[in-house]
Amino acid sequence: ARPPPRPPHGPHRRSTNRHLAATPSKPGMAMAATAPIRCDGKVTWMAFEPESYEHQLQEKTSAMRSLFGAVLAGVEVQIFPSMPAHFRQRARFAMCRFDGVLKFALFDKDAPRVAVDRFPVASREINELMPRLLAAVASSEALSTGLEACHFLGTQTGDMLVSLIYGEPMHSDWRAAAEAMRAELSLPALLGRAKGTRVVLDRDSVDETYALHDGRRLTYRQGEGSFSNPSAAMC
């Protein structure tokens, strides 16, 4: 069967390893979130079922063996399962007000309609930070005014970069408020970005390290806004 149309900024494939993004397609888009709203964290374009991961993996393995059995005859195929949940080191959310309350939001049907308090696809470190960051941002006029999106970029070793994206010029007191929040939350790195403005506190990247089979350690420097493999453990 043909899959449903791909939604903006997110995938449609039913998989436990997917790119999930929820940033507005243009500044100022639907930040009041007055369209039909769901606060259960469920979106129409994703079925996240970690409890059935083993079954899904077996189905996919059987399908691949069926499709490529003739090619793989005599070849020993190794299967590397992913973690069923908390496997993504990168997550992006729209920031919207639902009944006047600032929330993380996911896009669904062309608008950021779905409020989320947690995101089990993302790493445990991102999930633990989400409510603390939201409370700090929501309580600060300088940090919450004009805020349209929040990006998390983490690593397996606990490094973390948080990016706050604004659809209007940043508040004149943004840097002071951001520095105070960074200290309060012990954030390794924080930056704010608006059109023509980019304020970096400490740095705009994280370092991800992989242990190779021969004992060497490979370190990647992953910059804000650039691509990096979100499923670090699978690398």
pTM: 0.74
Which helix H or strand E contains 161, and what residues bound it? strand 160-166
pLDDT, residue 85, reads: 81
- Please tell me which residue, 114 or 167, carries the higher pLDDT value: 167
Q: Would you list the DSSP string of 103-125?
A: EEEEEETTEEEEEES--TTB-HH
pLDDT, residue 26, reads: 33
pLDDT, residue 25, reads: 33
Strand partners, 47: none
109 has a pLDDT exceeding 80: no
With bands split at pLDDT 50, 70 and 90, how would you rate the model's confidence at 77? Answer: confident
pLDDT, residue 31, reads: 39
98 has a pLDDT exceeding 70: yes
pLDDT, residue 57, reads: 86
Rounded Cα–Cα distance for residues 89 and 160 (Å): 9
pLDDT, residue 70, reads: 83
148 has a pLDDT exceeding 50: yes
pLDDT, residue 43, reads: 64
pLDDT, residue 88, reads: 87
Lowest mean pLDDT among 15-19, 157-161, 186-190, 227-231: 15-19
pLDDT, residue 27, reads: 32
156 has a pLDDT exceeding 70: yes
> What share of the chain has pLDDT > 70, as a percent?
79
What average pLDDT does range 33-49 have in this prediction?
55
DSSP E strands in the chain: the ranges are: 90-98, 101-108, 111-116, 147-154, 160-166, 189-194, 197-201, 205-211, 217-223
With bands split at pLDDT 50, 70 and 90, how would you rate the model's confidence at 45? Answer: low
pLDDT, residue 61, reads: 87
Among the listed residues 173, 191, 171, 169, the one whose alpha carbon sits nearest the alpha carbon of residue 182: 191
Give me 33's structure tokens.
């979130």
